[in-house]
Chain A
């Protein structure tokens, strides 16, 4: 009796020896410009070659602007140029800025069918956990490990512990995958799953689309987990069927048989189990400077004196940075900006959810709203559905694809101490721009907030 995690892990062990970490084979290596230049340099210095370029896919996403195809920032431009040179030298496929397959690496991999159940996927990016939505074992690594995988297609790793997160109960209307994951992180803390790989389980998870599952697995890292996984099922298979790079014909049948065998066996045990009752959840929003500092949107800014020890000091610091007073209703917080996008919430379903709220409505005066599709394919799909027209009619900016305002590495940044409702994944100090005050929310809440100019749910607009 084995868990999904153990099955995928075991199937990739090249070498298991007593007292040593397992040597794990990596099926897919995703590469972007920000974490790879030093790794390619390392290869060059040691006279090594990429071992399996055909298991490696590179995308330009972190540095790219989203309002033009020209990178004007000299540093960013150099980094992107380095990736182009490195990929050409090593024979690695690269989706460049301007390519209609370009986008955020964690959106592009799955939509091109490169991520499949039971695979191991790594990338020099912590949000690699996204791909666990397919029942793949996917995790972020640093640049040294990027170099290690380029050179050897393996990593030597001690298997993390296993953790089941059981979502029980029916998901209430208006509660999105983003709310489920924010509620979990609020419950267990930003280090609640350190040293573990999570398997998300329960009816609430089974009912999610692949986009929703990716949102959840994406933020596993915000709970401190090494990775987050969801057992592949009919939803997964339907998503993959006939995608480019998905198996065809008899190989599809073989793959399907294997994929069906991956789910955790009944009776298999986890090192730890956490239960989240979803039946009473409402939309969530962060108030502080780590993703665990979140409350229901209907709630108030917490009082630091209600926390113990170091958490109290952290809450005090967070409130000072966020310029918030305890007891303030979250609904009363005015926003300067709204950002919809990122590898967490930049997929077609996210854009549909936001467009549904914005249809026939206007972005409030004084609020700047950016809508940044997770990939150029997502952008194209949204335009076919006319979503861009809804966003533009509402007064939002409809952009090209990239990491954009999630992480302050490109031109899309919050200017000064502005308050932003953001569908991204991190509310750290300065993450979206020096002094930026980030409130993490779902796409639906972000859109409703844009309309009122204050933190709001779509239901608030109906009243």
Chain B
């Protein structure tokens, strides 16, 4: 994956709670076999509304999404992250996230940043007021910065390290191959093997 050490960009606000991945990308677009090219599918139903924030020409260059609570809840479809990323989003800031979405995000070099409600509120009002308002997310310092605002955020060590170095998660795990093989030798003898019966 591409390294992500620090990202600065303009932002847009979608403060709806419980935005599920079916909204981010409806199932009919999850029939594709590719991992990219999903920009035209993002929020497909909501995009039909000309007033929807993602239709605002002043926000077309935005790369930071300020969201509400439980963003990305529901289906495990990684297509939701691909659609956000392909549209141009690199960072989603919210008060909480669906667990699977949160993990899918960093696996694709998109950062889901959890901040307290008061901080998200402040950011949202600043971003809403000014399409050129820049938000910076610093993975090295674990900090969100914007004019008049600095706030730390938590990120687990492994995703942080993978993001900072742009490492391939699978290659890192394969480096532990001996340990995995060792574990396999001690697995319970009755565990099922597919195709055996």
A254 in complex: contacting residue of B107, B179, B183, B189, CB < 8 Å: B189
A148 in complex: contacting residue of B18, B45, B173, CB < 8 Å: B173
Shortest CB–CB separation between residue B53 and chain A, in angstroms? 14
B194 in complex: contacting residue of A93, A251, A426, A428, CB < 8 Å: A93
Chain B, Cβ-Cβ closest to A123: B76
- Note all chain B residues with C-beta closer than 8 A to A78: 31, 33
The answer to whether A194 and B98 have CB atoms under 8 Å apart is: yes
The answer to whether B179 and A15 have CB atoms under 8 Å apart is: yes
Given known contacts A151-B170, A314-B16, A156 and B179 CB-to-CB distance under 8 angstroms: no
The answer to whether B74 and A126 have CB atoms under 8 Å apart is: yes
Residues 156-181 of chain B, each 1 if its beta carbon lies under 8 Å from chain A, else 0: 11100000000011100110100110
The answer to whether B31 and A156 have CB atoms under 8 Å apart is: no
**CB of B63 within 8 Å of the partner chain:** no
**CB of A119 within 8 Å of the partner chain:** yes
Chain B, Cβ-Cβ closest to A190: B18
Q: Which residues of A86-119 have CB atoms within 8 Å of chain B's CB atoms?
A: 92-93, 113-114, 116, 118-119
Shortest CB–CB separation between residue A115 and chain B, in angstroms? 8
- Note all chain B residues with C-beta closer than 8 A to A317: 16
**CB of B125 within 8 Å of the partner chain:** no
Q: Cα distance A78–B169 when bound, in Å?
A: 29
A142 in complex: contacting residue of B15, B74, B76, CB < 8 Å: B76
The answer to whether A141 and B100 have CB atoms under 8 Å apart is: yes
The answer to whether B158 and A430 have CB atoms under 8 Å apart is: no
The answer to whether B31 and A75 have CB atoms under 8 Å apart is: yes
- Note all chain B residues with C-beta closer than 8 A to A194: 70, 96-99
Given known contacts A20-B158, A125-B76, A144 and B31 CB-to-CB distance under 8 angstroms: no
**CB of A158 within 8 Å of the partner chain:** yes
- Note all chain B residues with C-beta closer than 8 A to A191: 18, 69-70, 73, 96, 98
Main secondary structure of the interface of B (DSSP, over half): loop
The segment from A33-41, A358-366, A389-397, A446-454 found at the interface with B is A33-41
The answer to whether A255 and B190 have CB atoms under 8 Å apart is: yes
The answer to whether A76 and B194 have CB atoms under 8 Å apart is: no
The answer to whether B190 and A251 have CB atoms under 8 Å apart is: yes
- Note all chain B residues with C-beta closer than 8 A to A124: 76
Which of the listed residues B26, B27, B76, B197 has the most CB atoms from chain A within 10 Å of its own CB?
Answer: B76
Which of the listed residues B157, B191, B194 has the most CB atoms from chain A within 10 Å of its own CB?
Answer: B194
**CB of A66 within 8 Å of the partner chain:** no
The answer to whether B191 and A119 have CB atoms under 8 Å apart is: yes
Chain A, Cβ-Cβ closest to B157: A19
In the A-B complex, the 7 residue pairs with the smallest Cβ-Cβ separation, listed nearest first, are: A247-B190, A142-B78, A142-B104, A191-B70, A144-B107, A75-B31, A251-B190
A selection of 20 A-B contacts at a CB cut-off of 8 Å is A14-B180, A15-B176, A34-B30, A57-B194, A79-B33, A82-B33, A93-B195, A144-B169, A152-B173, A158-B156, A224-B73, A244-B197, A245-B192, A252-B190, A254-B189, A290-B73, A314-B17, A428-B22, A430-B45, A434-B45
